[in-house]
Amino acid sequence: VGLAAVQIGKALGARVLATVGGPEKSEVAREAGSDVVIDYRDPS
């Protein structure tokens, strides 16, 4: 569902923010077109 939401948001011209659970998923979200990616497992 998450990646589909990114694609739909970008297709509609939205600025897309994604929350992910790990560095691998961060990269996937960026490659999918997310403008901002927040890793909720990163303590910093």
Looking at residue 30, its pLDDT comes to 96
Counting the structural domains of the chain, the total is 1
Distance CA 35, CA 44 (A): 19
Looking at residue 40, its pLDDT comes to 97
- The answer to the question of residue 9 being in a domain is yes
Share of the chain above pLDDT 70, in %: 100
Average pLDDT estimate for 1-19: 95
pLDDT of residue 11 exceeding 90: yes
- CA Rg, the chain, in Å? 10
Write out the residue range of the structural domain in which residue 9 sits. Answer: 2-39
pLDDT of residue 44 exceeding 80: yes
- The answer to the question of residue 44 being in a domain is no
Task: Say what the pTM is.
Answer: 0.83
